[in-house]
Amino acid sequence: MSKILVSFATMSGNTEKVAQHINTELPKLLPETQTSFVNMMELTEELFNEHDLNILGSSTWTDGEFNPISEEFFNRLSASTIDLNGIKFALFGLGESYYPEFCTVVEKMESIIKSKNGILVAESLKLDGYVDDNMLHSVTEWMNKFLNTI
């Protein structure tokens, strides 16, 4: 039985839609999976070591920044003394390539997770534009690349 956390930080619901898709697909792709689906507003870093994999997603906001919800969480994580050594993560971000700082929240999340010794099990996923079937299909393909590593 694998335990997987899916957490999202959203302003207008797009990241939540992708997170919901991940949450629904996980037990289909990896039978015997138990998922925890948590709004990043309610996420605490202590939850990470209770899961075999932590999938975190956020949109990019205001010129390449975290959105206010992911900003609060990642600022707290960054300031904490937690050691994420051995704990696995997969990261995704939503944005629009129309902006010069496309999906840069992904690099910001990566850098904080790495600074706490967390393991990134896959290349992070950057998603561009509206949430549609094509986007959700690419999310499923991404999941297939790393689910066999846990």
Ligand X SMILES: Cc1cc2nc3c(=O)[nH]c(=O)nc-3n(C[C@H](O)[C@H](O)[C@H](O)COP(=O)(O)O)c2cc1C
Q: Which residues bind ligand X (CB under 6 A)?
A: 10-15, 59-64, 67, 94-96, 99, 101-103
> How crowded is residue 27: how many other Cβ atoms within 10 Å of its Cβ?
14
CB of 62 to ligand X, least distance (A): 5
CB of 150 to ligand X, least distance (A): 25
CB of 58 to ligand X, least distance (A): 8
Inter-residue contact 109 to 93 (CB < 8 Å): yes
The kind and range of the H/E element at 104 are none
CB of 149 to ligand X, least distance (A): 26
Q: Which two tokens stand for residue 135?
A: 């986007």
Nearer to ligand X, 129 or 141 (CB): 129
Nearer to ligand X, 24 or 62 (CB): 62
Nearer to ligand X, 19 or 30 (CB): 19
Nearer to ligand X, 54 or 67 (CB): 67
Question: How does DSSP assign 50-99, residue by residue?
Answer: GSSEEEEEEEEETTTEEPHHHHHHHHHHHHS----TT-EEEEEEEE-TTS
